[in-house]
A and B are shown apart, each in its own frame.
Chain A
Amino acid sequence: SQKIEQNSEALNIQEGKTATLTCNYTNYSPAYLQWYRQDPGRGPVFLLLIRENEKEKRKERLKVTFDTTLKQSLFHITASQPADSATYLCALFTGTASKLTFGTGTRLQVTL
């Protein structure tokens, strides 16, 4: 079965810096990969989706890359703000019954 690992459980960075989160997967490459934000006690909120034939996707201060050779996706937040503090989850579409498999998540803390 697909195994997904996100590089670290927690990441602390200073406001204004770029946060980089990593998502690694084993086995087959998914058709697409998604990133979600989850705040404490809340459900995940969809942020970005990147397809296997796309190298990079941007949305405002967010950027996602997808390297099917390395089996890795990177999620960047530029000019980070304290409001960006949350847990970020990557998720892979398994291709079976529309199911998503989620990574363990990285808790980002942006300090002043």
Chain B
Amino acid sequence: GAVVSQHPSRVICKSGTSVKIECRSLDFQATTMFWYRQFPKKSLMLMATSNEGSKATYEQGVEKDKFLINHASLTLSTLTVTSAHPEDSSFYICSANSGRSSYNEQFFGPGTRLTVL
């Protein structure tokens, strides 16, 4: 149980285009989903916290107009990188929290590798 999927696993796009990444909790309902980005050999940096049916909460320094997050259902959150540029190239990882664990255990997706040319 507690499986989280991401789609696509890898995407290459031209500079200026928008890219949408999906995060799905497959066998549980996720009250909260988190989006991280990770640079090579670096740790995960939290970008935003997404709660179903409400606006995402962005971390300091993360442009909300650049990284659009939608959490329309309890099993799906999407991250859209708008007008992507080469500096947006990174590994994007989502995680989901069922809200049932008292320890807020997060289950991570496999990640999406974004390369902007």
Contact = CB atoms under 8 A, between A and B. Distances in A.
Given A89-B44, A98-B32, A102-B44, A43 B110 contact: yes
Nearest to A1: B60
Contact of A98 (B4, B91, B97, B110): B97
Interface residues of B, number: 25
Nearest to A4: B43
Contact of B106 (A42, A46, A105): A46
How many of chain A's residues touch chain B, expressed as a range?
20 to 34
Given A49-B105, A98-B32, A98-B104, A44 B44 contact: yes
A45 B104 contact: no
B107 interface: yes
B34 A99 contact: yes
A9 B32 CA distance: 31
A49 B102 CA distance: 12
Interface of chain A: mostly helix, strand, loop or mixed? strand
B113 A45 contact: no
Contact of A104 (B32, B42, B49, B91): B42
A9 B109 CA distance: 24
Nearest to A97: B49
A100 interface: yes
Contacts of A98: 32, 49, 97, 104, 106
Interface of A: 9, 32, 34, 36, 41-46, 49, 51, 89, 93, 97-105, 107
Given A43-B109, A45-B108, A100-B34, 20 more contacts: A9-B41, A32-B103, A36-B108, A41-B91, A42-B110, A43-B4, A44-B44, A44-B93, A44-B108, A46-B105, A49-B103, A51-B103, A93-B103, A97-B32, A97-B57, A98-B32, A99-B34, A99-B46, A102-B44, A107-B41
